[in-house]
């Protein structure tokens, strides 16, 4: 089937007032343009712009149209998995506790990717998300195509529910509701459809009996009945501990099974998701094993390289292999780009590089001191005008009746709080009593950070019911690591502020009073990689620097831990 052709927390002030405030994207904005149907405690966002400005892309131009930048999908798009059917490639990544779940991308050449939707785009597919931590939810989706029944499968773990899969005949359309796999424990399941019609699921799980040490895990295999959508028989342990069990390797996970030239290859990640992350390979004559590890494992890692090298790429692992239409093999995998080698706020990103083959028949991406390249050539490629990588600018005028695929909320849809149709040209966002510090669904509509250096601006017309209401931009890592750049009404006028939201307490870093008569303002967050600058402007005035050099490290994985990157977006809250 040619699927492409088928579908060408703030301080309270004891005062009750009503406020109309406009926060603008452009200094030349039209002051007469205001929403026509005002509701109390509602913010009206007229536009949002995100502009990437990373130095590497500015200083290193691609030498030809058959080159691309790594990461191929920058920002927090972790745990990539890829499959192929004819001319079409499809790629998915993790979303953890964000909604909708599991973005799906399409390409015909592995480089020019376009997001075509989300696999899990309705709440019936994302059960028990409320109450989960930001790094809970949906782990490590794996996408596969079964030519025996012309069906696509996406299998994954919902930490709050268990392992399940969904399926479809048309990845450009909708996917089924979850089909639970109660006999498959652990995490990171993936399908393997053999050419003889048999099917299997491999996954990470705990060892039989007590673990011998922290991080002791196994890789198991289950036989799968395609007609009845269930496993059968007993599962079997394929790998215990890892490829060198005598060294007590940790966290073997993310397994994928392949059949190449009559041999079966079992590939998994090892070493945890941090700097010691790696990918290892084993080979056997049957999908049920036994499997023998390649003596030159790992086949992908950067853990032993000098951390002070230029443009370091770290934490490489959780890979998937794909054979291109011309017979070449490529790999997608996750990795991180720490700013100046120190920390990163972007999360784990999706990279792409060619696969090499050893003389004894094993695939690998790196050996020895091989460095992950940030500029890669793919002969025969014709790079498109709109690509997912490099520096780019995204402008969101909110003139449609649906949000674009970039936008997310936490745990469930935030559609109870936002509307694109009440005031055409605006995203109307009601102040919610659920804040972003709680494990529910706040009035937060966000996108991923995809660059260390970026500029973000928005326009807001805020109808505040009382002093408890606040709205603006939120930089969010998890429930206890946030920066809120917001506006609220206080007794003396309008307060514009930056709040650092923490685990046990939150504090206002800086605030400034503005006369109530000054209705129009602009807000801008400017990232320099390791710090943020915050600006505002009133009417057609020049930018005013509210605060400089607010540390970005606070939102980094190095400080907060967790599996996601930082997001940024529009936020409206009624403080309790």
pTM of the model: 0.93
**Is position 79 annotated as part of the catalytic site?**
yes
pLDDT at position 69 is 98
pLDDT at position 519 is 58
User: How far are the Cα atoms of 38, 414, 418 from residue 403, in angstroms, in the given order?
Assistant: 21, 11, 10
Whether 9 shows a pLDDT value over 80: the answer reads: no
For residues 276-280, give the mean pLDDT: 97
Q: Tell me the average pLDDT of the chain.
A: 92
Which range has the worst mean pLDDT, 219-228, 229-238, 439-448, 507-516?
A: 507-516
Which residues, other chains included, contact 61 with Cβ-Cβ below 8 Å and sequence gap of 6+?
none
Choice among 79, 188, 235, 478 that is catalytic: 79
For residues 23-33, give the mean pLDDT: 41
Percent of the chain with pLDDT over 70: 93
3-state secondary structure of 92: strand
**Which pLDDT tens digit goes with each residue over 152-207?**
999 999 999 999 999 999 999 999 999 999 999 999 999 999 999 999 999 999 99
Choice among 88, 205, 235, 253 that is catalytic: 253
Which range has the worst mean pLDDT, 206-215, 386-395, 540-549?
A: 540-549
Residue 103 exposure: Cα atoms within 13 Å on the Cβ side: 23
Residue 218 exposure: Cα atoms within 13 Å on the Cβ side: 18
pLDDT at position 492 is 74
DSSP structural state of residue 95: -
- Find, among 55, 32, 34, the residue nearest to 46 by Cα: 34
Identify the sign of the CA torsion 229, 233, 234, 240.
negative
Can you name the residues that pair with 193 across neighbouring β-strands? 199
Instruction: List domains and CATH numbers for the chain.
Output: 9-53+391-574 (2.60.120.200), 55-377 (2.115.10.20)
Q: What is the largest CA-CA distance in the chain?
A: 77
384 falls in which pLDDT band (50, 70, 90)?
Answer: very high
**Is position 253 annotated as part of the catalytic site?**
yes
Distance CA 233, CA 224 (A): 9
Place of tokens 């089937």: 1
pLDDT at position 517 is 53
For residues 214-218, give the mean pLDDT: 98
Identify the sign of the CA torsion 468, 474, 475, 480.
positive
Which residues, other chains included, contact 295 with Cβ-Cβ below 8 Å and sequence gap of 6+?
none
3-state helix/strand/coil string of 361-384: CCEECCCCCCCCCCEEECCCCCCC
Distance CA 247, CA 296 (A): 15
pLDDT at position 340 is 85
**Which pLDDT tens digit goes with each residue over 29-55?**
444 467 888 899 999 999 999 999 999
Distance CA 89, CA 71 (A): 18
Pairing of strands 363-364, 531-537: unpaired
């Amino acid at each position: 089937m040619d699927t492409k052709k088928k579908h060408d927390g703030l301080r309270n002030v004891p005062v009750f007032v009503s406020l109309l405030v406009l926060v603008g994207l452009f200094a030349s904005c039209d002051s007469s343009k205001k929403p026509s149907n005002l509701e109390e405690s509602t913010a009206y966002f007229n536009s949002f712009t995100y502009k990437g400005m990373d130095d590497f892309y500015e200083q290193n131009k691609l030498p030809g149209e058959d080159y691309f930048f790594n990461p191929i999908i920058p920002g927090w798009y972790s745990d990539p998995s890829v499959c192929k059917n004819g001319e079409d490639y499809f790629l998915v990544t993790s979303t953890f506790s964000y909604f909708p779940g599991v973005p799906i991308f399409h390409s015909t050449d592995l480089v020019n990717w376009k997001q075509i939707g989300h696999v899990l785009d309705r709440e019936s597919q994302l059960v028990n998300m409320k109450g989960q931590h930001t790094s809970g939810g949906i782990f490590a989706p794996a996408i596969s195509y079964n030519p025996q029944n012309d069906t696509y499968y996406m299998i994954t773990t919902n930490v709050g529910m268990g392992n399940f899969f969904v399926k479809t005949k048309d990845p450009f359309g909708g996917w089924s509701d979850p089909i639970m796999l109660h006999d498959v424990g652990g995490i990171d399941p993936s399908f393997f459809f053999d050419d003889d019609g048999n099917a299997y699921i491999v996954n990470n799980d705990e060892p039989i009996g007590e673990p011998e040490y922290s991080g002791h895990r196994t890789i198991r295999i289950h036989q799968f009945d395609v007609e009845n959508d269930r496993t059968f028989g007993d599962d079997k342990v394929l790998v215990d501990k890892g490829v060198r069990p005598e060294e007590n390797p940790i966290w073997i996970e993310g397994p994928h099974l392949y059949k190449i030239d009559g041999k079966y290859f079992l590939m998994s990640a090892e070493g945890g998701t941090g700097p010691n992350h790696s990918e290892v390979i084993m080979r056997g004559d049957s999908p049920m094993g036994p499997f023998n590890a390649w003596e030159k494992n790992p086949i992908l890692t950067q853990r032993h390289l000098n951390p002070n090298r230029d443009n370091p790429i770290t934490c490489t692992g959780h890979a998937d292999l794909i054979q291109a239409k011309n017979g070449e093999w490529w790999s997608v995998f996750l990795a991180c780009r720490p700013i100046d080698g120190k920390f990163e706020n972007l999360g784990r990103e999706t990279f792409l590089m060619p696969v090499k083959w050893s003389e004894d028949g094993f695939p690998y991406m790196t050996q020895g001191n091989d460095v992950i390249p940030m500029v890669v050539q793919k002969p025969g490629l014709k790079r498109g005008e709109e690509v997912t990588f490099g520096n780019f600018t995204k402008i969101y005028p909110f003139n449609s009746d649906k949000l674009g695929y970039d936008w997310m909320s936490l745990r469930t849809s935030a559609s109870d709080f936002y509307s694109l149709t009440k005031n055409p040209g605006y995203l109307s966002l009601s102040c919610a009593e659920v804040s972003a510090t709680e494990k529910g669904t706040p009035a937060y509509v966000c996108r991923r950070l995809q660059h260390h250096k970026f500029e973000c601006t928005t326009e807001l017309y805020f109808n505040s019911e009382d002093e408890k209401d606040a709205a603006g931009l939120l930089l969010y890592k998890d429930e206890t690591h946030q920066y809120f750049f917001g506006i609220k009404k206080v007794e003396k006028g309008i307060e514009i502020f930056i709040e650092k939201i923490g685990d046990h307490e939150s504090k206002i870093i800086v605030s400034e009073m503005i006369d109530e008569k000054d209705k129009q303002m602009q807000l801008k967050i400017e990232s320099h990689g390791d710090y943020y600058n915050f600006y505002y402007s009133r009417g057609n005035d020049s930018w005013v620097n509210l605060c400089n050099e607010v540390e970005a490290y606070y939102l980094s994985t190095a400080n907060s831990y967790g599996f996601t990157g930082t997001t940024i977006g529009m936020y409206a809250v009624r403080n309790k």
